[in-house]
Amino acid sequence: MQNIIKNKLSLIASLFLICIYGLAFLADFVAPYNPNELHSNYGYMKPSQVYLDSKGLYVYRRTQVVDKENYIKKSLEIKDKKYHLKFFNNNKIISVEKPGEIFLLGTDSLGRDLLSRLLFGARPSLTIGFISLIIAFPLGLLYGGISGYFGGLADNLMMRVAEAIMSLPSFYLLIILSALLPANLSNFQRFAMITFILSFISWAGLARIIRGQVLAIKEKEFIESARSIGLDSISTIIKHLIPHTFSFVIISATLSVPSFIIGETALSFLGLGINQPDPSWGNILAEGKELSNILTRPWLLWSPALLIFFSVFSFNIIGDSLRDYFDPKNS
């Protein structure tokens, strides 16, 4: 029963990640607006209410008035005309007749569509994990493989270096290094530097575990056979030792992606990562954290928070399922 539940959760998690990555990849087509497009009269607008009639889905034009008693803005629908939604029109999945506007998740303080910003913001927040893996994991695999294969003094020295990196408080180091980045960097350059920093602080743990696995494998017969036919050490490590650690690497990679996502999101949330106006889940979440927004405009907080939570949770569910699948006790 427990395995059935885990398999269903893993399937749901996989479908969720496929959907969210697909939406991020197709953001130019899926998002109703450009993420930085300003709608000056629609700041802090609530999510649009969609209606249905015989012609299809429609919305009303809206305006905002100030509640003088509570000093908050309220949106009012002007029901003089219906503005029907259009699908697959002007290279957009969904659009609306002008001058109507549709904000399915509401807007931020500048009147930017939150749904569009979340879709485009998913690109840096979700891709940073895989880019960091491409950098960190080959380094950790090769470093740990060399250390475990040669052993002796080389192993001791290499492991002391890895342990020194592992002993650094990674999140605080990440904040310090990000804070030291030049202020005039573009968001693309800042994203590249954050990716490098995340990769730098994450390879050592993998290297130490790979080293332990290589120590257990290197005395087996197929390694001795490779040595006997004259295969050099590096080729032996790459062709024979490292492939036997792939089951662990797949699990570790799946479980590492959430930490990269959280790392980038946390930096952007603190203003040390992707900066406005370019969207990132972290800097979108930062606006929602204000107490006034939590009380009166909860969509600013819950939309990015739920996306971050379910993305991280999905990767953890899949990683846990892979760990059970590759566990020899379950075979």
Q: How much is the pLDDT for 331?
A: 47
Q: Place 119 in a pLDDT band, splitting at 50, 70 and 90.
A: very high
Tens digits of residue pLDDT in 250-277: 777 787 888 888 888 888 887 777 888 8
Mean pLDDT for all residues in the chain: 82
Which range among 75-89, 103-117, 209-223, 311-325 shows the weakest confidence by mean pLDDT?
209-223
* Distances in whole angstroms, Cα of residue 134 to Cα of each of 129, 143, 195, 286, 303: 9, 15, 10, 29, 29
Calculate what percentage of the chain has a pLDDT beyond 90.
11
Tens digits of residue pLDDT in 40-54: 788 888 898 898 888
pTM of the model as a whole:
0.82
Token pair for 66: 């100030």
Q: b/e per residue, 121-133, with b = 16+ CB within 10 A?
A: bbbbbbbbbebbb
Token pair for 50: 């969609």
Q: In angstroms, rounded to a whole number, what is the distance separating the alpha carbons of residues 288 and 121?
A: 15
Which residues lie across from 249 on neighbouring strands?
Answer: none
Average pLDDT of the residues in 302-318: 91
Continuous H helices in the chain: 2-25, 27-30, 114-150, 152-167, 170-179, 187-200, 203-217, 221-228, 233-236, 246-269, 281-288, 291-296, 299-326
Residue 328 has pLDDT above 60, yes or no: no
Q: In angstroms, rounded to a whole number, what is the distance separating the alpha carbons of residues 128 and 25?
A: 14
Token pair for 72: 């908050």
Which range among 128-132, 196-200, 214-218, 219-223 shows the weakest confidence by mean pLDDT?
219-223
